[in-house]
Amino acid sequence: MTSRGPRLQATLAALLILFVLPAVTAPARAADDEGTPVSVLIGDAVAEYDAGHFQEARALFRQAHERQPTARTLRGIGMCSFELRDYVEATRSLGASLRETRRPLTSEQKRHAELLLARAHTFVGRYMIKVKPASASLFVDGHPAELEADGVLLLAFGRHQLSLRCASCAPTEKEEDFTVSGGEQRTIELALAPAPPPSLADTSGGSGAGTGNGGTGSGAAGVVTQPGGDADASAGRGSAHIWFTGAAIAAALGAGGSAVWWYNRNKELDTCHMPPQGMECTSESTINSQRTTALGLTIGLGAAAVASGVVAGLLWPRAEQSAAAPTTVACLPGNNMVSCAFRF
């Protein structure tokens, strides 16, 4: 009996460990899953804060807040952020802790949060950003801007770079460097101009169809309508071709009239050379001068008609050139006659 006693006790102890201990620890694990981890996290966070390990303390407060968000976890995050000189996060978290209704702050905790929040405001600038176009994206120091619920941008004191980016603008990005002194509140306007519409030359390369005379080009992006080169040239010429045509006709008619006059003076001069019996020509010199003048007018007006016709032909619109070519008139005096050539 004496030798079997210790052996029996050892067996009973082993059975107790195998069957009784799991039954006792099971409720403990259930309680740990329900709420104990948050308490442990907060306790560890407070211990790290007291030790001056603010980065570790903020990480633990954030974990606790993710599992069970309260005003007190927000206050802990804000306190750690202030000590880490992350004044923007301190402003957000401390302000949120004063508004949170879950496990609200005590009177003493509220006063402490308000004082710390007021100090954080002195190191933060508040900016109302107005961007044009509204579809443009705002970046701060190379990262997308994080605006508050009221549209305000919070920036800690120091140098920062604001970037406005817009793919449909020209240029596509605008950067502005400025220094935040802390505590200021003002409005910042950033604007980018929309890109000009593509020219016909730019779109012709990727265009699937277009009209000859340069009027319309179409591509994947839509339809672009612009005046073409021929239309612009015709518009630039205006009605000059009509004026030169009229001048050519008027000069041709004048040349014809002077040619008739020359022919008449020439006939009169012939009469003076062989006057009828009993008559004497006393105006031969005058008639000779008039004949010379008529000849000069005929040649000059004929040359003017030719030149005006040539210019009118050069200026005549291409679309009308095939329908009606310019008329060229040339008149030259001959022996007792005037010869005019018309080219159609």
Among the residue ranges 80-84, 215-219, 327-331, the one predicted with the least confidence is 215-219
Asked whether the predicted pLDDT for residue 336 surpasses 90, the reply is: no
Q: Whole-prediction pTM value?
A: 0.49
Helices 71-83 + 107-121 axis angle, to 10:
40
Q: Which is higher by pLDDT, 322 or 170?
A: 170
Q: Which is higher by pLDDT, 156 or 218?
A: 156
Domain boundaries, the chain: 36-121, 124-191, 236-343
Asked whether the predicted pLDDT for residue 177 surpasses 50, the reply is: yes
Q: In whole numbers, what is the pLDDT of the chain averaged over residues?
A: 76
Asked whether the predicted pLDDT for residue 335 surpasses 60, the reply is: no
Asked whether the predicted pLDDT for residue 341 surpasses 80, the reply is: no
Q: Which pLDDT value is given to residue 85?
A: 96
Task: Name, in order, each residue with C-beta under 8 angstroms of 77's C-beta and a sequence gap of 6 or more.
Answer: 58, 61, 62, 65, 89, 93
Q: Residue 32: pLDDT band by 50, 70, 90 thresholds?
A: very low
Asked whether the predicted pLDDT for residue 184 surpasses 80, the reply is: yes
Give the pLDDT mean for 317-327: 51
CATH number of 36-121: 1.25.40.10
Top mean pLDDT of 109-113, 195-199, 215-219, 299-303 is at 109-113
Asked whether the predicted pLDDT for residue 313 surpasses 90, the reply is: no
Q: Which pLDDT value is given to residue 247?
A: 79
Asked whether the predicted pLDDT for residue 181 surpasses 60, the reply is: yes
Give the pLDDT mean for 311-337: 58
Domain 124-191 has CATH 2.60.40: yes
**What tens digit of pLDDT does each residue of 272-304 get?**
766 666 566 667 778 778 778 878 888 887 788
User: Would you state the structure tokens that stand for residue 100, as one six-digit string?
Assistant: 């949170």
Q: Which pLDDT value is given to residue 142?
A: 92
Top mean pLDDT of 5-9, 26-30, 144-148, 250-254 is at 144-148
Give the pLDDT mean for 215-220: 42
